[in-house]
C-alpha cells in the first residue's frame, strides 16, 4: 500500500511537470510571470524591472556587466506582489520596491554581498 501511494504521488508530480512545464509557466498561466536574473556581484547592486527591461545598477563595489535575464510571461502592469527566490550566491537578495501605479510599475530587487570579493548570483522573481 505504501509503494502504491508513493507511485501515485510520483505520477502526479510527473504529470504536473509535463503539463505545466515549470513553476514559472504555472505563474504565467495564472496571469503572473517571472524573470530569472544572473550576474556577478561585488558588494551591492539593484536590479530594476520595468517595461520588459532589466537594468542593473551598482551601488557599491565593482561593476562586472555580465548580467543576463529571461522573462517568462508578462511583467506586472498593475499593482502586484513580487517575491524573489535566490538560486545561487552567498549574500542577501530581497525586494526593495513592489510595482504599483505610483512608481510606474517598477520592481527593484537588491543584492547585498558583504563578504570580500565577488560572487555569482542567480535568482528568480515571481509576481501574481
**pLDDT one-digit tens code per residue, 41-100:** 999 999 999 988 999 999 999 999 999 999 998 877 788 899 999 999 999 999 999 999
Inform me whether the pLDDT recorded for 25 exceeds 60: no
Question: Domain range holding 113?
Answer: 2-127
pLDDT of residue 19: 40
Work out the burial of residue 128: count CB atoms within 10 Å of its CB; fewer than 13 is exposed, 13-18 middle, 19 or more buried: middle
N-terminal to C-terminal alpha carbon distance within the chain = 39
Number of domains in the chain: 1
pLDDT of residue 98: 96
pTM of the shown model:
0.74
pLDDT of residue 60: 97
Question: Per DSSP, what are the bridge partners of residue 93?
Answer: 111
pLDDT of residue 29: 39
Sequence-separated (6 or more) residues with CB below 8 Å from residue 8: none
Amino acid at each position: 500500500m505504501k509503494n502504491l501511494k508513493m507511485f501515485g504521488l510520483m505520477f502526479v508530480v510527473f504529470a504536473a511537470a509535463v503539463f505545466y512545464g515549470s513553476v514559472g509557466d504555472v505563474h504565467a498561466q495564472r496571469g503572473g510571470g517571472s524573470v530569472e536574473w544572473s550576474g556577478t556581484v561585488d558588494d551591492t547592486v539593484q536590479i530594476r524591472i520595468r517595461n520588459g527591461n532589466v537594468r542593473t545598477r551598482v551601488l557599491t563595489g565593482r561593476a562586472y556587466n555580465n548580467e543576463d535575464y529571461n522573462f517568462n510571461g508578462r511583467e506586472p502592469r498593475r499593482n502586484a506582489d513580487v517575491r524573489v527566490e535566490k538560486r545561487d550566491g552567498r549574500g542577501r537578495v530581497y525586494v526593495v520596491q513592489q510595482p504599483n501605479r505610483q512608481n510606474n510599475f517598477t520592481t527593484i530587487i537588491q543584492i547585498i554581498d558583504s563578504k570580500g570579493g565577488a560572487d555569482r548570483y542567480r535568482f528568480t522573481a515571481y509576481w501574481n
